[in-house]
Structure 1
Amino acid sequence: MKIINIILLSCLLTATGQAATLPDQPHISVSGNAKIHIKPDTVRIEFQAIAMENDADNAKQMVDQQVQQVLSQLQKSEFDQALLTRADVQLRPEYEYIEKKRTQVGIKATRNLSYQLDDVEKLNKLLQILVKNDISNIGQINYSLKEPLQWQIKARDMAVQDSISKAEGLANSYHSALGNVYSINYQTHNAQPILMRAMESDQVAPSYQNNQIEINERVEAVFLLKP
């Protein structure tokens, strides 16, 4: 019996809370939706310089050499070197099982790097530079927008207009007139970047023109009806 009473009380409170958000006079509740697609205008490429040698010094030296070669080619190709982000070199022993015995076969050096490219048209050119300089592990390619806020505002305004249009249409259909807005419920939605899969060194990235960033906005509004 106590459980039933608790459930009934919960339902009553929920209904009361919902009723409190709506006006006592005639009204219309609508939701406005908008969706826009935009071509990305910036892209971040993540990759690794990797080398394995007999000792740590040689492995690190090989990785440093790869990075320097990449920097040199970026400069020659008129890419901004400052946009290349470099993490510290990570060293770890590599093992193989030889005749059922775990045996160290070398030291592997890895350095994580990323490049923020503000001209998406140059992506393939950048990838070619990486491949030509022994960067075989090209990872995630992250397409995004330089100024996502302006597009979110545009989509939100479209959603607002959609809600007004729906409310006016419903009011006219019921031979009534739309009054002022009573309440608005809105939660922003961040633009979702496009993440491409890791590629093999001899593959070319898909054209960004086939990829678009989708922005969805939704508003809920309650409009009063004129007497």
Structure 2
Amino acid sequence: MRAIVLWGILAVASVAHAGTPLPDGPHVVTSGEGKLSVAPDMATLRLVVEKRDASPAVTKQQADQAVNRFLDALAKRRVAAADITASDLGLSEDNGRNDAGRRVSNGFVAERSIEVKLRDVKQLDAVLDDALAAGVNHFGDTTFGSSREEALVAQARLLAAQDARHKAEQLARGVSAQVGKVYSIDSTGSSNSARYRGDELGTITVTASKDVPARYLQPQIEFKERVQVVFDLQR
């Protein structure tokens, strides 16, 4: 029986990450994973205003006016100034070539980007409508988050540690041993990502009238933590 116990211990110990300290005596190394999925309560929008005109002054004015209209709308929705980032103006000439190969000007392009953190995700649709009405014409990625992220990460890490212990106990029972004290524990991975589920929601047009209901994807944020634990074994 002793030979079987030691063989099982060595086989399990071989999966330890490089650099992980291991005890001299009998031990078991296990990895655990903890996952939590929650609905987001925050969102970060990335938007771009792009305007074109033959006059650089007019192009700049149009871009600035669109940004100012959007910022005014955000203020009315009580979005804090600290949660808004608006870039400086980027102005360039759009040059091309005519059929004869000569350089021609296609006018000027003015561009400004805006990033908005919404601490109430329920405002998302209305703010997107505000952006369209203001003249924003490019919409980038929208990322979702939770105001409880720190607590959720800690909870997922606890679940990962519990999972690691459960696996260690299963392995120990297989070789007629018992799990002893924790020798070391390391975090080996931390991530969060948005997963989506289908839902029926009404769309809101720029004029705020109801449109035909459409299917949207509502995110769920998954917090995932991984740990590796080394336990002493008692025979």
TM-score, normalising length: structure 2: 0.75
Residue 25 (structure 1) aligns with: 25
Residue 168 (structure 2) aligns with: 167
How far is the alpha carbon of 1:188 from its aligned partner?
4.8
Helix, strand or coil at the partner of 2:34: strand
Q: Is residue 51 of structure 2 the alignment partner of residue 51 of structure 1?
A: yes
Q: Is residue 135 of structure 2 the alignment partner of residue 127 of structure 1?
A: no
Seen in structure 2, the aligned counterparts of structure 1 residues 92 and 98 have a Cα distance that, compared at 3 Å, is: same
Q: 1:31-110 to 2 correspondence within 5 Å?
A: 31-76=31-76, 78-80=77-79, 82=81, 83-100=83-100, 101-110=102-111
Q: Distance in 2 between matches of 1:86 and 1:150?
A: 31
Q: 1:105-116 to 2 correspondence within 5 Å?
A: 105-116=106-117
Q: 1:153-164 to 2 correspondence within 5 Å?
A: 153-164=154-165
* Higher strand residue share: 2
Query: Gapped runs of 5+ residues in structure 2?
Result: 1-13, 196-204, 207-212
| Percent of aligned positions that are identical | 28
Q: Distance in 2 between matches of 1:26 and 1:123?
A: 56
Q: Is the 8 A contact 1:46 1:115 kept in 2?
A: yes
1:95-140 CA-to-partner distances (Å, cap 9, x unmatched) read: 2333343311211111111111111111111111111222111112
Residue 225 (structure 1) aligns with: 233
How far is the alpha carbon of 1:192 from its aligned partner?
4.2
Helix, strand or coil at the partner of 2:63: helix
How far is the alpha carbon of 1:20 from its aligned partner?
9.1
Seen in structure 2, the aligned counterparts of structure 1 residues 220 and 19 have a Cα distance that, compared at 3 Å, is: closer
Q: Is the 8 A contact 2:32 2:162 kept in 1?
A: yes
Greater mean alpha carbon deviation, residues 213-222 or residues 119-128:
213-222
Q: Distance in 2 between matches of 1:148 and 1:19?
A: 30
Q: 1:194-213 to 2 correspondence within 5 Å?
A: 207=216, 210-213=218-221
Helix, strand or coil at the partner of 2:150: helix
Q: For 1:175, give the aligned amino acid.
A: S
Q: For 1:211, give the aligned amino acid.
A: P
Moved over 6 A (4+): 17-20
Q: Is the 8 A contact 1:168 1:178 kept in 2?
A: yes
Q: Is residue 178 of structure 2 the alignment partner of residue 177 of structure 1?
A: yes
Seen in structure 2, the aligned counterparts of structure 1 residues 85 and 193 have a Cα distance that, compared at 3 Å, is: farther
Query: Gapped runs of 5+ residues in structure 1?
Result: 1-13, 195-200
Helix, strand or coil at the partner of 2:192: coil
1:37-72 CA-to-partner distances (Å, cap 9, x unmatched) read: 222221111111221122221111111111222233
Helix, strand or coil at the partner of 1:187: strand
How far is the alpha carbon of 1:81 from its aligned partner?
5.5
Seen in structure 2, the aligned counterparts of structure 1 residues 45 and 125 have a Cα distance that, compared at 3 Å, is: same
Helix, strand or coil at the partner of 1:123: helix
Seen in structure 2, the aligned counterparts of structure 1 residues 206 and 134 have a Cα distance that, compared at 3 Å, is: farther
Q: Distance in 2 between matches of 1:113 and 1:18?
A: 44
Q: Distance in 2 between matches of 1:122 and 1:18?
A: 47
Q: Distance in 1 between matches of 2:51 and 2:20?
A: 66
Q: Distance in 2 between matches of 1:42 and 1:92?
A: 35
Q: Distance in 1 between matches of 2:136 and 2:118?
A: 17
